[in-house]
Amino acid sequence: RRALGLSTLLLLNDFTALALALPKLSSKELTQIGGGAPRPDSPLALIGPGTGLGVSALVPHPGGWRALAGEGGHVSFAPLDERESVVWRYAAARFGHVSAERLLSGPGISLIHQALCERDGEDDAPREPSWISAQGLAGRDARCRETLEIFCGALGSAAGNLALTLGARGGVYIGGGIVPRL
C-alpha cells in the first residue's frame, strides 16, 4: 500500500471481485439460459470453472450488496448417475476426497476423460482439455463428447445446489474461462 502511494489497498478473491461486478453488467453482457426472471433484492450466485472452480455470491445489504467470499469449489462432488459415479470412483482412487473443483475445471476435463478411457479399457494417459473440448465439440470423438456432457451436467448440478443453498432467486451466473468456449 505504501509503495504504491495508496491510502487503502484491498485484496479480493477473483470470484468475489466478479460477484461485485454482477449488478453493474448490462443485459447485453449477459446470456440467459433457462426461463424465469431474476427477483430483485434477492441473493445472486456465481460459479465458474477455469483453472479451478470459483464460487461466490452477493446478498442484499442496506445500501447495496455484500459479497460472500469462500472456497465453494472445494465442496464434495456428489455423482448423480452411473457415468458420474464412474468418474467419482476413478478420482477417489487417485486422490481420496473428490471436490467439485477436481472435476469442474480445466484439469477436471482431463480427469473425466481419463476416467472414461479406463472405463472403456483404454489408455488413460491425460489429454489436454483444449484437445478434448475441440474433439467433443466437433463431434470427432464420442468419448470427448461424453466428457463434455458429464462436465456440463455436473456444472449444472453444482449451480443448482448453489442456488438452493443461497436461495439465489436473483439468478445464478456462470463465469470463468471454460464455459464461453463450450
Residue 96 within any structural domain of the chain: yes
pLDDT tens by residue, 76-121? 999 999 999 999 999 999 999 999 999 999 999 999 999 999 999 9
Domain contains 139: yes
The total of structural domains in the chain comes to 1
CATH number at residue 136: 3.40.367.20
> Residue 124's Cα: distance from chain center in Å?
24
Quick check: is 173 in a domain? no
pLDDT, one tens digit per residue, over 3-20 is: 999 999 989 888 999 999
Through-space distance between the first and last CA atoms of the chain, rounded to whole angstroms: 39
**40 falls within a domain:** no
* Domain presence at residue 20: no
Q: Is residue 5 part of a domain?
A: no
Amino acid residing at 177: G
Task: Find the domain containing 125 and state its range.
Answer: 74-158
Assigned domain for 37 exists = no
Whether 56 is in a domain gets the answer no
Q: How far apart are CA 162 and CA 120, in angstroms?
A: 32
**Distance, CA of 2 to CA of 151 (rounded, Å):** 44
49, pLDDT greater than 90: yes
Of the candidates 163, 169, 158, 168, which has an alpha carbon nearest to the alpha carbon of residue 52? 158
Cα angle at 126 between 105 and 49, to 5 degrees? 5
